[in-house]
Amino acid sequence: MVRSFGWLMALALGWPVVGFAYDSYTYTSGNDNYHLTQTSLSDDGSVIIGIGGTSVVASDEVVVFSVDDDNPVWNWDDNGDDRIFDVDVSGDGSTAVACGSSVWLLDIEQQELLWTYGEDDIYVWDTCDISEDGQTIVAGNRQSSIGSWDRSSSDYVRWWTLTDGGFVDVVDMTEDGKTAIVSNGYSYALIDLSSDEFVWEKETSVSITTVGLNANATRGYAIVDDGETGTDVSILRGINMTTGRLTWKKRFRSTNTPRVQMSSNGKRVMLTTNKKYYGLGSTGKQEWTFVPSGQETSMQMSANGDFVVVAEGLYYVYFFDWDYPRGKHRAFQIDRPTFPGSVGVSADGSTVAYKDEDFVVQQVVPGILVDNLDTIPVYSSGSSMDVRYYVSNPGKKANLKIRTSLSLPQVSILSDLGAEVDGDPKGAKSKLLEYANATLPGYEVIDTRSVAMVAHDSKTITPTLTVPEMVLPDWVGDFLELIGLDDVFASLMGDYSDPMKDLMNDKINDALTSGAEDAVSAGQATYALLGLGQVELYDTATNEVYSTDSFFFMYLVL
């Protein structure tokens, strides 16, 4: 017999709702062949830029958005057949650099092209970066060379060439524009942008996927191949920034291109693959993981590493709070677009943009995660229930409320079972089931509390709640016997144990079923019902619900 748990899954997942007090919009170009990629945001999220075009290989314009306007404020192209492969906006939002067929510097505020380098040149530029104040620009080309410029002129200031030829596919510069790390897949080097020579250059015997550094060049990283033919194993390595020597390592498996980013202070390293996401400390020690359900990933984190956003390529965009206190992480918000990618996050974590079939820009609303802290979550009327609320607030200051309710959705399971028991009068049973559907759930609000959140912060609250007497009619025992549940656990828990494991991990599932069964067997309870706790996070002034989450428990009828 096949039974659907769709209704229960919907209750349990508690998808968050975006509040109207926060700017959020989806831009649709009107052309099904038009794509926006390579998203980049200013530090405060007020300026968003991307590369636009009719295909990924035919992107030929820079598109500029404002966080509060659902149409581009500026579309720039070079009026030719030029292709754009990378783009970056300065932290202050004043200036952007784009590169591809040439290198272009754009004044965002005045909406004008400042200069072009390489109009008649043979170079193709795959990667570029710009400093926080928009004054220093670095770009790498397919002839293994790197150039630097300042805002005032298209004449390059300095020029470097890596020893081992290859496309320069990574350029990562510090916020102050003084230092950069570069790689061409075979060697990597640290550049002091005031010097004509590399600080150091290192060649490797294995291929390099990417390199990067933190905001002040005190820490760096590289992803390298493990050197074994035919494996999907790569190694994330720390880099000693004084010598260039590879230090700590984290081995991982991935059949796609892994993504990695380091927080500004270098103490947090985020690594995402199509198999697993890893939150790592400064020496590669694993702090948390998350198992996704996607393919290619695009990932960005806030400057301090507190907030991480990952688009998994197929169906979901996950929003994580680094400090959520569990090794197996959970997302405080999950968006469900189609084929999401090209994620950009503001430095303060308040604003996110990503492409799907269209282009989504949103100021991130507060989110909540709830965990039942009791080892065996089995309760009766008057029992104490220990829970943990974890509230994430990447955006602005907010005055919020938390509302927690308990209910007994198992009545829907009973209805399903009752309809399929042979030998009983269907008409009478149907009337009983209809009445039970209206009265049995026993919905009770057991906790309402205020929580004031400062901007870009998180908070943990650990209350002890009291389980109320759930509203149940006196005839429930007779009703259960009538529909054939003489042995509650053989008929109910036996049938539903495996599907419940799809919603809960084995440990919780075993605690629910065995703990409740022990109480019934010992005569401490008449029967047990599956309970659902639901938590809502909403705005104090408007009652706008921003986020919901849920947990399971067993309720014993004494």
In this structure, is residue 321 part of a structural domain?
Answer: no
219 falls within a domain: no
Q: Report whether 76 contacts 64 (CB < 8 A).
A: yes
Q: Which domain holds residue 487?
A: 6-10+370-557
How do the pLDDT tens digits run along the chain, 558 residues long? 222 333 333 333 343 333 335 778 888 887 877 888 889 999 999 999 999 987 656 688 999 999 888 899 999 998 777 889 999 999 999 999 999 999 999 999 999 999 999 877 678 999 999 999 999 999 999 999 999 999 999 999 999 999 877 899 999 999 999 999 999 998 999 999 999 999 999 998 888 999 999 999 999 999 998 877 667 889 999 999 999 998 999 999 888 889 999 999 999 999 999 889 999 999 999 999 999 876 777 999 999 999 999 998 888 999 999 999 988 899 999 999 988 999 999 999 999 999 988 899 999 999 999 999 998 888 988 999 999 999 999 999 999 999 998 887 654 444 444 444 344 444 444 544 454 444 444 567 889 999 999 999 999 999 999 998 876 555 555 555 554 444 444 444 444 444 344 444 455 445 555 555 565 556 555 666 778 889 999 999 999 999 999 988 888 877
Output the CA–CA distances (angstroms, integers) from residue 196 to 99, 151, 161, 356, 357, in the order listed. 22, 19, 10, 42, 45
- Give backbone dihedrals phi and psi of 482, rounded to 5 degrees, phi first: -60, -40
Q: Would 169 be classed as within a structural domain?
A: no
| DSSP summary character for residue 489 | I
Question: What is the CATH number for 381?
Answer: 2.60.40.10
Beta bridge pairs of residue 128:
139
From the CB of residue 158, how many other CB atoms can be counted at a distance below 10 Å?
Answer: 16
* Cα 357 to Cα 51: distance, rounded to the nearest angstrom: 15
Q: Say what the pLDDT of residue 292 is.
A: 86
For residue 333, give Cα distances in angstroms to 73, 192, 344, 372, 515: 28, 40, 16, 19, 32
Q: What angle do CA 7, 8, 10 make, to 5 degrees?
A: 65
Q: Say if residues 271 and 278 touch (Cβ distance below 8 Å).
A: yes
Q: What's the total number of domains in the chain? A: 1
Pairing mode, strands 47-53 and 35-41: antiparallel
What are the start-end ranges of the E strands in 136-186? 136-141, 145-150, 158-161, 170-173, 179-183
Has residue 60 been placed in a domain? no
Question: Distance (Å, rounded) from C-alpha 408 to C-alpha 467?
Answer: 12
Report yes or no: 131 and 153 within 8 Å, Cβ to Cβ: no
| Neighbouring C-beta atoms of residue 260, cutoff 10 Å | 21
Point out which residues pair with 12 in neighbouring strands.
none
Spatial distance between the Cα atoms of 332 and 318, rounded to a whole number of angstroms = 8
Q: Are strands 341-345 and 351-355 parallel, antiparallel or unpaired?
A: antiparallel
Strand order in the sheet with 125-130: 125-130, 136-141, 145-150, 158-161
> What are phi and psi for residue 303, nearest 5 degrees?
-60, -40
Instruction: Identify the CA nearest to 275 among candidates 250, 251, 294.
Output: 294
Q: Within 10 Å of residue 507's Cβ, how many Cβ atoms?
A: 9
Residue 450: the pLDDT is: 95
Is 56 part of any domain?
no
CA distance 138 to 527: 70
Report the C-alpha gap between 341 and 357 in whole angstroms. 10
Contact 537, 546 (CB under 8 A): yes
Q: Which two tokens stand for residue 541?
A: 């002034």
Among 470, 268, 507, smallest CA distance to 377 is for 507
Greatest distance between any 2 Cα atoms in the chain = 91
Q: Is residue 549 situated within a structural domain? A: yes
385 lies in some domain: yes
Could you tell me if residue 393 is inside a domain? yes
